[in-house]
A = this chain, B = another copy of it.
């Protein structure tokens, strides 16, 4: 009998644990599943033997029969920046605590590999998919409704307004941008800003579209002239160039609202280091997101906060709710935004 103990080649299997603990293989399975009936001392013995053999149930096999892979697919754009990093980071921590693992995929923001990527991802059988409207076309994602539940972040709400949809096709995380942007504009207006420019995100981006639309509306409501638009793409470098262009070729501005924080950093550096302008004395700057870098002293950015922790909690809530109610209609969560005042307006 002791010869079976030598050289446990490859991974240990439930069968091996069962043999060693003198129980049936089914008992081993039960020992690892909480809500099954198994005599306590037996479970204890099995777990002890399992640890000796360094055994863990194979999740691929488990997924095959239970239909749950415990994988959550996350699709991020090729120009993956700080915002996405922090999202992935916090999400992974939260999902891990719930017994899930994060499966990462990169895609183009121009939708060019939509179908190919989704077919690829599909093969891994994620229980849920978190996609951003930036990265995947809604109609392409629709095919995944069989098992995985896509969740959209920043879904542009219909009707121009910001009311959640009555019966959305997918689970959704909506973001109310209006409050935060209104506070931002109010602050600029309070400091007497007359010529407000908008440093945009990527051209085809829906989040950018929604943000610009909201800004225009808010400014109009406050009796301000429409913003001048400088074209960026959410990146530091594009923002840097666009800002220089705005002042060298265009007419400049006395305040710039950037589509995201990283873009705002590019704006700030261009203003200070290239154009030799002072912030906030000559030009005021406001960003969007409130990423970790925004409190760094070189930037100390006033920005519209889209709370990371709150966002991740909402996403995890959506995922778990969906797994417990596979056939329920689309769930929705809605988060608000608010201004965080630091040193770039004043």
- Answer yes or no: A137 CB below 8 A from chain B CBs: no
Asked whether A56 and B269 contact (CB < 8 A) given A102-B103, A296-B236, the answer is no
Interface stretch of the complex, out of A121-129, A165-173, A195-203, A309-317: A121-129
A241 to B: closest C-beta gap in Å: 12
Known contacts A269-B298, A298-B273, A298-B298; is-contact A56 B102 (Cβ 8 Å): no
A11 adjacent to chain B (CB < 8 Å)? yes
Point out the residues of chain B lying under 8 angstroms from A146, CB to CB: 9-11
A11-B146, A58-B125, A103-B101 known; A299-B298 Cβ under 8 A: yes
Asked if A92 meets B104 with Cβ closer than 8 Å, knowing A125-B58, A125-B59, A269-B296, the reply is: yes
Structural contact, B56 and A122, CB atoms closer than 8 A: yes
Is A69 among interface residues, defined by CB-CB distance under 8 A? Answer: yes
Q: A78-B93, A124-B59, A125-B60 are in contact. Are A265 and B298 (CB under 8 A)?
A: yes
Interface residues of A in 54-99 (CB under 8 A from B): 54, 56-61, 63-64, 69, 71, 76, 78, 80, 82, 85, 88-89, 92-93, 96
Q: Is A105 an interface residue (CB 8 A)?
A: yes
Q: Does A240 contact B (CB under 8 A)?
A: yes
- Would you call A274 an interface residue if the criterion is a C-beta within 8 Å of the partner chain's C-beta atoms? yes
Chain B nearest CB from A1 CB (Å) reads: 23
Q: Which residues of B contact A59 (CB under 8 A)?
A: 60, 123-125
A150 to chain B, nearest CB (A): 15
Q: Which residue of B lies closest to A67 (CB)?
A: B10
A23 at the interface (CB under 8 A from B): no
Are A101 and B104 CB-contacts (below 8 A) given A63-B60, A64-B60? yes
Among candidates B10, B58, B124, residue contacting A101 with C-beta atoms closer than 8 Å: B124
Is A106 interfacial (CB 8 A cutoff)?
yes
A147 within 8 Å of B (CB atoms): yes
Residues of B near A60 (CB, < 8 A) are 59-61, 63-64, 69, 124-125
28 contacts between A and B (CB under 8 A): A11-B147, A54-B143, A56-B120, A56-B122, A56-B123, A58-B125, A59-B60, A59-B124, A60-B64, A60-B69, A60-B125, A61-B64, A71-B103, A71-B124, A78-B93, A82-B82, A82-B85, A85-B89, A88-B88, A92-B104, A92-B105, A92-B106, A101-B105, A101-B121, A102-B104, A236-B296, A273-B298, A274-B297
Given A59-B123, A60-B69, 19 additional A-B pairs, CB 8 A: A54-B143, A56-B123, A58-B125, A59-B125, A60-B61, A60-B63, A61-B64, A71-B103, A85-B89, A88-B104, A92-B105, A101-B121, A101-B124, A103-B104, A104-B104, A265-B296, A265-B298, A273-B298, A298-B299
